[in-house]
């Protein structure tokens, strides 16, 4: 959206690893800056190095789309002429340009952030996010699927039952029931996706199933390449 409105601008994107994978290979982004959650001395060194790089670039504008403590502090210390953030944030004082997206109903994050840009004067033509995948990535995930017993040439659906907080978790038996019906009645292969920490949750669902299913551990870009080719994705509200 920014490059559509300002084609000649330099646009960098800051993300916490591994989320930086999602915006890699995006032709609209000049440079992806990433940082990781680190504690102790390593965290301090990483933070100082990041801020040094940001201040050295001398950005004209920094837009904080999240309003969290870390991103707000980065905006404040960036050295940018314009520091954009949420007017209703507890850290609103960190910004010198404040926007206030207001909705009378719940909206997706992409809608909320698009509204932020619209309030800055940008013309919003589309709110559909796009992940730029390479053809090799699409081919590689098909091969990885074959290795776990899924035929990518036949209909399949991706199921992601993993979640960090049990308070947001749909019951494992419900995932199992849907996957069984999907395979037995509709002949759609069920492929469970998980991050390393979510393996026990996937194992629990598989043990409850009446039909055999397959599971695969992926990176974020592999997950994107896989879901692009799937019939649909079943996951939690606000899931991947």
pLDDT, one tens digit per residue, over 25-53 is: 999 999 999 988 777 888 889 999 999 99
Between the CA of residue 118 and those of 5, 11, 40, 109, 140, what are the distances in Å? 11, 17, 39, 14, 38
Q: Where are the beta strands (DSSP E) in the chain?
A: 12-16, 31-35, 61-63, 82-86, 97-99, 156-160, 189-194, 214-217, 233-235
Write down the pLDDT at residue 209.
98
Summarised one tens digit per residue, pLDDT across range 195-208 is 989 999 999 999 99
State yes or no: pLDDT of 226 exceeds 70: yes
- Two structure tokens written together for 213: 């299913």
pLDDT > 90: what percent of the chain?
75
Pick the more confident residue, 110 or 98.
Answer: 98
Contact between 74 and 66 under an 8 Å Cβ cutoff? The reply is: no
Query: How many Cα atoms sit within 13 Å of 20 on the Cβ side?
Result: 13
For residue 239, pLDDT beyond 60: no
Prediction pTM value: 0.85
Look at residue 171 and tell me whether its pLDDT is greater than 60: yes
Q: Which residue has the higher pLDDT, 73 or 103?
A: 73
pLDDT tens for each residue of 127-160: 788 899 999 999 999 999 999 999 999 999 999 9
CA distance 46 to 34: 10
Query: Which of the pair, 190 or 41, is modelled with greater confidence?
Result: 190
Supply angle C-alpha 115, 120, 114, rounded to 5: 20
**Is the pLDDT score of 218 beyond 70?**
yes
**Residue of higher predicted confidence among 130 and 80:** 80
Q: How confident is the model at residue 236 (pLDDT cuts 50, 70, 90)?
A: confident
Contact present, 216 and 144 (Cβ < 8 Å): yes
CA atoms within 13 A on the CB side of 27: 5
The pLDDT of residue 240:
53
Q: Is the pLDDT of residue 219 over 80?
A: yes
């Amino acid at each position: 959206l920014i490059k559509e409105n300002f084609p000649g601008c330099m646009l960098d994107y800051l993300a916490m690893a591994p989320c930086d994978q999602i915006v890699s290979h995006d032709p609209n982004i000049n440079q992806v800056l990433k940082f990781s959650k680190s504690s102790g001395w390593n965290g301090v060194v990483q933070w100082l190095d990041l801020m040094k790089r940001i201040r050295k670039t001398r950005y004209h504008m920094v837009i904080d789309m999240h309003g969290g403590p870390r991103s707000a502090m980065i905006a404040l210390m960036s050295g940018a002429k314009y520091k954009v953030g949420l007017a209703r944030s507890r850290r609103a004082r960190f910004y010198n340009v404040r926007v206030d997206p207001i909705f009378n109903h719940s909206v997706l994050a992409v809608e909320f952030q698009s509204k932020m840009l619209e309030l800055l004067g940008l013309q919003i033509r589309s709110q559909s996010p796009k992940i730029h995948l390479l053809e090799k990535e699409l081919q590689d995930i098909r091969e990885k699927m074959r290795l776990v017993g899924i035929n990518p040439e036949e209909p399949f659906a991706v199921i992601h039952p993993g979640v960090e907080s049990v308070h947001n978790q749909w019951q494992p038996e419900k995932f199992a029931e849907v996957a069984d019906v999907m395979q037995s009645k509709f002949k759609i292969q069920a492929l469970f996706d998980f991050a390393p920490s979510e393996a026990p949750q996937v194992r629990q669902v598989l043990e409850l199933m009446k039909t055999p299913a397959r599971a695969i551990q992926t990176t974020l870009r592999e997950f994107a390449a896989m879901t692009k080719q799937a019939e649909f994705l079943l996951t939690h509200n606000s899931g991947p």
